[in-house]
Amino acid sequence: MSINLIAELEAAENVLNNYTLLETGNPGVYVIPQFLTLDLLDPDVVRTHQLQRDHRKRLKKMQKHFQKKLPSLYNLSLMRIKKEFSGTVNGETITVTPGVDMVDGHTRREDWIQSYGRGDEDTCVPNYVNVIVYDVDNFKQYKDIYYSFDSTDASEKTNEKIVGACRALNLVLNSTTAKSGSFGSALDIAYPGDRKDDILTKVSYFHREIVELDKIGLFNPADPELKFQCLMAAALQALKIYNEPDETRLRLEGGLLQLAQARKDTLSLDPNHWYGMDLIQYEYFMTPDKEWSIPKGMHRKTSFSSINPQMDFIWYCFEMYMTKSPVKKNRGMKSSSYKGYYEKATASVAFRQPLVGYEGLFEDLEETV
């Protein structure tokens, strides 16, 4: 065993060596009945789990519960990681190094840290907490144990899961929508696999497209009427499909930038023929109550019945733009002229980046594409 590896193992167990770990009836699971809270609050001793969402945003909401000082608040969970391991999710690698990671209790720990900052530790912070320790030696355990605590909608909303997944994948995002993870429905609509797949899988599948869409500005467009989940979803799919060659990708990026910068008060109504991005603006700026193309009442909605009509229309517009095909704007379009475009696009996405474990899900992809 190398000197470096020995040092890593010693560092991983350093804090836990100060305690007696009581065995439970389950292998690799231990209990520490009196874990010093000061050790828990030191981020160099107990690290934040890599999949953890931004728990600081949740703190204000949870403080009213923390003030009750219920005994259940003082039960927390940690992971003991003795060796380095990695996990690959849709081609993206997440590496976990030896150490002790928090599993359940991030928000409570943040509350206690802030209490120390205010000088309220004597009344707000317990001296000791009860800790369950899980030995973890592979990425599947690392992910599954965390999600067993923090994946239900009752404890963590979809946007919070997205924030955690983006953090684990080191995505650098700037817009408020992207940073807050407020594009969960777009992910579900764009994703070509099972919607029940976990958030980390979906975010990793579209990670490059998420970053690109954030740079373009379509997560927070200039006009809020173009900020809706179906448009984000179609854009994520398009960035996957039209990724190459460079000329094709640049044309798409230019069209998406046009949408990101568009405003209702500057939309020109003069030309007799428009290209795809103009049609999207006209549909969502001018006709939600007139049923020009998309059925009335379905605009910007994410209900089951409203997704396909919008996605079919938006994808029709994308194709008209990418193929430089003019369309007369003054007569609208019948849904029969663009029905099935969303299904074809979703198959194309899966063809561009096949999903692991979904062999045979989309038949005759080459013919469809």
- Rounded Cα distance, 167 and 86, in Å: 16
| pLDDT value of position 249 | 95
Dump pLDDT digits (tens) for 324-359: 988 876 666 676 778 899 999 999 999 999 886 554
The pLDDT of 294-315, averaged and rounded, is 89
Among 28-32, 53-57, 172-176, the least confident range:
53-57
Cβ atoms of residues 28 and 135 within 8 Å: yes
End-to-end CA distance of the chain: 52
Out of 74-88, 248-262, 325-339, give the one with best mean pLDDT.
248-262
- The fraction of the chain above a pLDDT of 70, given in percent, is 84
CA distances to 24, 67, 221, 306, 336 from 37, in Å: 22, 17, 45, 51, 64
Using alpha carbons, select from 66, 71, 8, 15 the residue that is nearest to residue 41. 15
Coil/strand/helix, residue 226 = helix
Q: For 144-156, what is each residue's pLDDT tens digit?
A: 898 887 544 433 4
**Cβ pair 186, 300 in contact under 8 A:** no
Spatial separation of the C-alpha atoms in residues 57 and 367, rounded to whole Å: 47
Dig out the tokens for 276 from the structure. Answer: 């795809």
Q: Which of 177, 178, 184, 180 is nearest to 158 (CA)?
A: 184
Query: 253 in helix, strand or coil?
Result: helix
Please give the structure tokens belonging to residue 157. 């909303």
Long-range contacts of 309-314 (CB under 8 A, 24+ apart): 309/335, 310/230, 311/189, 311/230, 311/233, 311/234, 311/341, 311/342, 311/345, 312/338, 312/339, 312/340, 312/341, 312/342, 313/283, 313/338, 313/341, 314/230, 314/231, 314/234, 314/280
- List the single range of 34-38, 153-157, 227-231 with lowest mean pLDDT: 153-157
| Backbone Cα Rg of the chain | 25
The full set of domain ranges for the chain reads: 3-156, 161-368
Paired tokens of 72: 């259940």
Gap between the Cα atoms of 285 and 293, Å rounded: 13
- Residue 109: phi and psi, rounded to 5, are -60, -40
Fill in the amino acid letter for 73: L
Exposure string (b/e) for 176-186, b if CB count within 10 Å is 16 or more? ebbbbbbbbbb
Ranked by mean pLDDT, the top range of 49-53, 71-75, 236-240, 281-285 is: 236-240
Question: Cα–Cα distance between 309 and 49 in angstroms, integer?
Answer: 40
The three-state secondary structure class of 170 is coil
SS percent in the chain: helix, strand, coil, step 5: 50, 15, 35
Q: Is the pLDDT of residue 5 over 50?
A: no
Three-class DSSP category at 96: strand
Answer with the residue of higher pLDDT: 242 or 119.
Answer: 242
Q: Sign (positive/negative) of CA torsion 200, 204, 206, 207?
A: positive
